[in-house]
Structure 1
């Protein structure tokens, strides 16, 4: 529920997309406009590398903590080679995360970040309620 509410709040806090006018600007005007847009995006979106790493780590760690795949990995590690299980789990998670990142980058071309935040937050809340009710 925490990540659902946080995703919705973060999407709410995003500035609205600037509506594009139909007027054509000169090259100098377009350059100034692009420069302002880059400054705005850098100021609002990009954060320090450590903060990005911390957000990614905490999202994955707390989302995976105590779920069935973690418990299955613990059982497999107890029955098989811990190094083999750890290596397989790391590679599997790496591939799954890479697919998510590449898919997200592809979808970002067509869907706004605000919509993704709202949809992700609602999905987190639906899964939280379903888990609470014992559906999963």
Structure 2
């Protein structure tokens, strides 16, 4: 139990120190993506926002994460477990957590790639 708590405390510290960028050197990017996707998996953001959407303040709401919300706590715990299962540090730089790892730890899946549609043949000079 102590290890689980210390992992969650380290995750909270990592997110608090995160520069909110997705650069390869940013520490917290992969954790944030995993946490946020886990949070979205648990349902709509009706209770986990600290300040809910207000139509009178559309540019500044919603904002914040309600750390008391059970869904938030579970999402963070699940994200920490995902990182531990892959032997990845929660405070590692984004470059150490490739997109394939993020996809495996969340419900996000990349869109399938498609071959471009074939082009119709160019008109020949004999057809004119």
With normalisation by structure 2, the TM-score equals 0.29
Greater per-residue strand proportion: 2
With normalisation by structure 1, the TM-score equals 0.28
Greater per-residue helix proportion: 1
